[in-house]
Amino acid sequence: MGDTTGETGAVHVPVMLDRIVELLAPALERPGAVLVDGTLGLGGHSEALLRAHPGARLVGIDRDPTALERSGRRLAPYADRVDLVHAEYDAVPRVLDDLGITGADAVLLDLGVSSPQLDEAERGFAYSYDAPLDMRMDRTQDRTAGDVVNTASVAALTRVLRDYGEERFAARIAQAIARERATAPIESTRRLADLVRDAIPAATRRTGGHPAKRTFQALRIEVNSELSILEATLPAAISRLALGGRIAVLSYHSLEDRMTKRALAALATDTTPPDLPVPLPDRQPELRLLTRGAELPGDEENERNPRAASARLRAAERVRRP
C-alpha cells in the first residue's frame, strides 16, 4: 500500500513505519544490502529505509505506472542506488534476474490500495467520488470493475462479494446489480454505491461505515487478482531471500493475512517425521518468525491514520537455505 491516504486526499505516514524499519534493520546493515519493495506505492517505507541505511540498494516494484512516477520523484535524492520497475509483485525473481541480483536481504510487501489510486477520482476506487467503474491498479490491463459488475453471473458476483468483501448481504447486492444492469449498464461508482446502499436493509445501513465499502473492496481485489498474485508472490519472494535476510508483509484483509501466515509458518516448521529420534538437517526450518502472530498498529497510530486500523504485520528471517 505504500503511503496511504484518506478519501479527503490527505497523505498519512506509511503504516507501522517505525516497526518495519526496526524489523528490517539487521538485514539492511550488511554491506551492499538489497531491499526489494514489491509494492512501492509512494515509496514512504523505502525512503525511510534508504535514509536509515546509506549502503543499501532499493529495487522498487509497482504495477501502477503512476505510483512509480511519483515515488521516483520522492526517491530522487537516492537515485544512484534505486531501480524502479513496472511489474506485478509476483515477478520478484524475474526482476532480480534482469538486474543481475542473486538475492535480496530484505523484502517488503505492503498490500492494498496506494495513495495515487485513491487520490485520483477518475481511477474509480472510491465510492465517495462519481467516476467510471475502473479500479485497475495497472491501467495497461483490460478488465475493469465495470466489466465484472456488468458481465459476471449472479453466482460469481455473490462469491466475489462474500469471499473478498466479507459482505453478508452479497446475494442481495448481486441480485440488485443483475436487475439494474438488465435495464442499462452500470458504469459509474456513484450509481453502484447507491445501488448497494438501497440493497442493504435500512437498519444495517446505520452502522459500520459506508454501506458500499465492502463491495468496492471485493471488486478491487477481483479486478486486480490480488489474492492469486499474493499466493504466487510469497514463495517467489522468500525463495530469493538471502541467509539472514528478512521479509515483512503488511496485510489489510483477513484472507491476505491468512495466506501470509500460512506461507511463513510452513517454512518455519521442522518437518522431520515424528517417529525419527533426531531432527533431520534438511528438514529444519528455513525461516524464523519475528512476530508473535500478527502485530497491530498502536492506538495512537490508529487515531492519526484511521486506515491503519485493519493492518496486520508479519515478518520472518531466513535461517537456512534449502
CATH assignment of the domain containing 198? 1.10.150.170
Looking at the fold, whether 183 and 36 belong to one and the same domain comes out as no
Is 32 inside any structural domain?
Answer: yes
Q: Do you know the residue count of the chain? A: 322
Indicate the pairing of strand 312-318 with strand 287-289: antiparallel
43 among annotated binding-site residues: yes
Q: Is the distance from CB of 233 to CB of 256 less than 8 angstroms?
A: no
Domain end marker among 194, 223, 252: 223
45 among annotated binding-site residues: yes
pLDDT at position 5 over 60: no
Is 239 inside any structural domain?
Answer: yes
Number of domains in the chain: 2
Could you tell me the pLDDT band of residue 68, with boundaries at 50, 70 and 90? very high
Looking at the fold, whether 219 and 230 belong to one and the same domain comes out as no
* pLDDT on residue 115: 55
Is 121 inside any structural domain?
Answer: no
Looking at the fold, whether 170 and 216 belong to one and the same domain comes out as yes
12 among annotated binding-site residues: no
Looking at the fold, whether 73 and 62 belong to one and the same domain comes out as yes
Angle at 264 between CA 61 and CA 161, to 5 degrees: 70
Is 61 inside any structural domain?
Answer: yes
SS3 content of the chain, % helix, strand, coil (to 5): 50, 15, 35
* pLDDT on residue 46: 97
Q: List, for residues 106-152, the tens digit of each pLDDT value.
A: 999 999 776 555 656 566 666 667 888 988 888 888 899 999 999 99
* pLDDT on residue 122: 61
Looking at the fold, whether 22 and 111 belong to one and the same domain comes out as yes
Widest CA span in the chain: 70
Is 63 inside any structural domain?
Answer: yes
Task: Residue 124: count other Cβ atoms within 10 Å of its Cβ.
Answer: 27
Is 123 inside any structural domain?
Answer: no
Q: List, for residues 222-265, the tens digit of each pLDDT value.
A: 999 999 999 999 999 999 999 999 999 999 989 999 999 999 99
Looking at the fold, whether 236 and 314 belong to one and the same domain comes out as yes
* pLDDT on residue 277: 82
127 among annotated binding-site residues: no
Looking at the fold, whether 243 and 110 belong to one and the same domain comes out as yes
Residue 80: give its domain's CATH number.
3.40.50.150
Q: List, for residues 171-210, the tens digit of each pLDDT value.
A: 999 999 999 999 999 999 999 999 999 999 887 776 667 8
* pLDDT on residue 139: 82
129 among annotated binding-site residues: no
Candidate from 21-25, 29-33, 158-162, 279-283 with smallest mean pLDDT: 279-283
* pLDDT on residue 58: 98
Is 131 inside any structural domain?
Answer: no
110 among annotated binding-site residues: yes
Q: List, for residues 49-64, the tens digit of each pLDDT value.
A: 999 999 999 999 999 8
Looking at the fold, whether 64 and 76 belong to one and the same domain comes out as yes
Place of cell 509458518: 265
Task: Residue 99: count other Cβ atoms within 10 Å of its Cβ.
Answer: 12
Task: Residue 53: count other Cβ atoms within 10 Å of its Cβ.
Answer: 22
Looking at the fold, whether 91 and 160 belong to one and the same domain comes out as no
* pLDDT on residue 8: 34
Looking at the fold, whether 244 and 285 belong to one and the same domain comes out as yes
Q: List, for residues 70-107, the tens digit of each pLDDT value.
A: 999 999 999 999 999 999 989 999 999 999 999 999 99
Looking at the fold, whether 201 and 81 belong to one and the same domain comes out as no
Looking at the fold, whether 265 and 288 belong to one and the same domain comes out as yes
Is 4 inside any structural domain?
Answer: no
Domain end marker among 175, 207, 223: 223
Place of cell 458500499: 212
Q: What is the C-alpha to C-alpha distance for residues 217 and 111, in angstroms, rounded to an integer?
A: 13
Higher pLDDT, 55 or 279: 55
Q: Which domain, by its residues, includes 158?
A: 139-223
pLDDT at position 9 over 60: no
* pLDDT on residue 6: 35
Domain end marker among 223, 250, 275: 223
